[in-house]
Amino acid sequence: MGRIPIIRDFIGIIKDKASQSKVALLSDPKTLSLHLALLRATTHDPFTPPDPRHLATLLASGHTSRATVSTAIEVLMDRLQTTRDASVAIKCLITVHHIIKRGSFILQDRLSVYPSNGGRNYLKLSNFRDKTTLLTWELSYWVRWYALYLENLLQTSRVLGFFLSSASSSVDNNEEEEEKVSSLTNSQLLKEINSLGNLIEQISRMPNSLHTNGNILVDEVLGMVGEDYLASTNEVSIRVSEFKERLSCLSVFESVELGFALKRLEDCKERLSALGQMRNVLVETVWGSISEMKDQVGNDELYGEEGRLMTMESSKNKVSESSRYGERVLKLGDSVDFFSGRF
């Protein structure tokens, strides 16, 4: 049994060398460095993360032509979706995550629309299995979860209008973000907080695999997701604060929908509490705000089975209720642009 990992590692090294030799012979000289950087960043070694130098080469392609950027994304996605090796797959996903967080606008844009508009199983890894060893079998859980998480991250970024936790996001400029959020309609604000809830819920479903504890690839993933978690709780905090300003002008349906969104977020708290590296004063404050806001929106009956029936019943009248709310606003003046209680 002890010989299997050694043989597998040796075969992985041969595959890496063979792939690099093939690329050197067949690739366009203009993109050769790009192809080699990808192969060297996504080796078969399950104990080394992508080398920062090779990641930097890939990210640098985002400052070249659109054709080169398209090639970079296509090569990355092709390697991700054709490999059967868990180490290669998880390194490709880490590379995707680096593009989301650190890539240029054109690189992020090309990633977000590949191959079309994203959606469920966008990265095509929901059935990924590497049964070679016990380690690769458990890494496969991480590959499937991480792919679904990144799909959620891309979808949430589309809803918010910026890549969450990226260099181009507005996380570090709360005042500007609060101003933008204050101009949203109630329905837009609900859509954003629900999307953030989906992302945090996916983080809470992180695998807990015994044999991957201390694995450097898993630690790399945890570190990057942890940064996203802090950014997403910051965005939730801004939107919860905005809803506090609007409590008096929420319709019944909007109040119920907000209550469910907050309850769903609160249900993630216990599962996320085990992730000690993701806890800080900001996070604890946000969870307190969510609980307080949930209590203000409605009592516990809203969140039981009876509450579910109420929501279903309310949804039948969603259009007419929204229309009535819209009519009330329009009668006050068609030129009103802001929906926050601050204005």
CA distance 260 to 288: 16
Distance CA 338, CA 78 (A): 45
CATH number of 8-147: 1.25.40.90
pLDDT tens string 237-255: 999 999 999 988 889 999 9
Q: Indicate whether 326 pLDDT > 90.
A: no
Query: Which residues, 6 or more positions from 72, have their beta carbon under 8 angstroms from its beta carbon?
Result: 34, 38, 58, 61, 62, 107, 110
Which of 2-18 are b and which e, b meaning 16 or more Cβ less than 10 Å from the residue's Cβ? Answer: eeeeeebeeebeebbee
Confidence of residue 321 (pLDDT cuts 50, 70, 90): very low
Q: Indicate yes or no: pTM above 0.85.
A: no
pLDDT in tens, 156-212: 999 999 998 886 665 456 778 888 999 999 999 999 999 999 999 999 999 987 677
Helices (H), the chain: 3-26, 32-41, 52-60, 66-82, 86-102, 105-112, 134-160, 174-182, 186-204, 216-246, 252-273, 281-297, 305-316, 318-332
For the cut 60, the answer to whether the pLDDT of residue 276 exceeds it is no
DSSP string, 301-339: GGGSHHHHHHHHHHHHTHHHHHHHHHHHHHHH-TT----
Contact present, 63 and 110 (Cβ < 8 Å): no
The domain limits of the chain are 8-147, 167-304
- Residues 87-123 have pLDDT tens digits of 999 999 999 999 999 999 999 999 888 755 555 556 8
In this predicted structure, the answer to whether residue 80 has a pLDDT above a threshold of 80 is yes
Structure tokens at 115: 């191959």
Tell me what pLDDT residue 43 has: 92
Neighbours of 217 (CB within 10 A): 24
Asked: is 167-304 a CATH 1.20.58 domain? The reply is yes
Rounded distance between C-alpha atoms, residue 280 and residue 226, angstroms = 11
Calculate what percentage of the chain has a pLDDT beyond 70: 70
